Amino acid sequence: MKKFTSVYDVDDPASLVAEALALKKTPFANQALGRNKTVILVFFNPSLRTRLSTELAAKNLGCNVMTLNVADGWKLEFADGTVMNGGTAEHIREAAGVMSQYADILAVRSFPGLEDKDKDYADEVMNAFVKYASVPVVSLESAIRHPLQSLADWVTIEEYKKQIRPKVVLTWAPHPRALPQAVSNSFLEWMQAAPVDLVLTHPEGYELDPAFVKNTPVAYSQKEAFAGADFVYAKNWSPLTPYGKPQPVAENWQVTKEKMDMTDNGYFMHCLPVRRNVVVSDAVLDSSQSLVLPQAGNRLYAAQAVLQRLLGGVD
């Protein structure tokens, strides 16, 4: 594996899931792998889970870790041929090149602007790091994908599934702010590669990009989708049209106990952070059906499996 920015960078995603589960049993088995190696994490946007789990994953493998938070202060230029006499002080060519002098792996988080769909879906920041870094790049969430989250989600489904091919539902849920599509896009991609029956449900007007939906069945009735589900994965995303501008939704799409009762004693999943009693009711989130904490816990082993592969631990 040369980089980790989507499921398509992984030859055999199911094996990566198995490696993450194996690391959960023996997290310190490969501490020699990272000796004298350095992982640099670059955050253009805030993080709790991704930052802590990836830092710990690198340390469990014996790596040095450096984390750069560059939310507002660092104005990078991404365009080629620009006369840089404005607000941008450093070009991505030098920035990624310099960081590659200090790191064996670069990991990057960058959210979309949610103003211009074509610009966001070009995934400029992540692709520029991949292009100009001379070391492997890991996505810590890009404008359009969150592959480490999805890998941890698959690991969690693998741990909790009660049948060989569970029914997994990705449902849109309400949120007071406009959010990216990255988690949902990625979840679709990874679940399309997993041994599950995947269903996508959302209100009309909240269609995801067909490039991510592919052949996944779509239901506009949340109740219909929940019937017989083994896992319900809730996530808000803002519409593609008008891009990034939430539209009124007539029904209440919050995940409630009454809706979960329509599932096959299904589990509730969410990537966190979650808005209580907006996305999901307390009764669901605080129940034994909720997997949100095991999911967050598995972020560690997902990140460790990825770093291990990039360090050459497993082909």
Binding site for ligand CP (CB under 6 A): 47-50, 141, 149, 271-272
Would you call 164 exposed, middle or buried from its count of C-beta atoms within 10 A (0-12, 13-18, 19+)? exposed
CA–CA separation, 247 and 189 (whole Å): 25
Smallest distance, Å, CB 296 to ligand CP?
A: 7
Give CA–CA dist 138/307, Å, rounded: 8
Residue nearest to ligand CP (CB): 50
Pairwise CA distance, residues 235 & 228, whole Å = 19
Q: How far is the CB of 109 from ligand CP (least distance, A)?
A: 8
> Which C-beta is closer to ligand CP: that of 53 or that of 100?
53
How many other β-carbons are positioned within 10 Å of the β-carbon of residue 245? 11
The minimum distance between CB 86 and ligand CP, in angstroms, equals: 30
Judged by CB, which is closer to ligand CP: 50, or 290? 50
The distance of closest approach from Cβ of residue 279 to ligand CP in the complex, given in angstroms and rounded to an integer, is 13
Min dist CB 29 to ligand CP, Å, is 26
Smaller CB distance to ligand CP: residue 146 or 167?
146
Spatial separation of the C-alpha atoms in residues 142 and 108, rounded to whole Å:
8
Instruction: Map tokens 């896009």 to a residue.
Output: 185
Nearest distance from residue 241's CB to ligand CP, in Å?
A: 26
Strands (E), 73-166: 76-77, 90-91, 105-109, 137-139
Distance of CA 194 to the CA centre of its chain: 16
Structure token digits, residue 197: 């029956």
The residues that bridge with 280 in the sheet, in sequence order, are 255, 276
Task: Work out how close the CB of 271 gets to ligand CP at its nearest, in angstroms, rounded to a whole number.
Answer: 4
Q: Is the dihedral of CA 83, 89, 92, 96 positive or negative?
A: positive
Give residue 36's region: left, alpha or beta (phi > 0; psi -120 to 50). Answer: left
Q: Which CB atom, from 48 or from 84, has the smaller least distance to ligand CP?
A: 48
Q: Which is nearer to ligand CP, 54 or 100 (CB)?
A: 54
Q: How far is the CB of 137 from ligand CP (least distance, A)?
A: 17
Judged by CB, which is closer to ligand CP: 140, or 260? 140
Q: How many CB atoms lie within 10 A of CB 219?
A: 16
CA contacts within 13 A on the Cβ side of 138: 30
Which of residues 23 and 183 has its CB atom nearest to ligand CP in the complex? 183
The residue (of 15 and 45) whose beta carbon lies closer to ligand CP is 45
Beta pairing class for 137-139 and 105-109: parallel
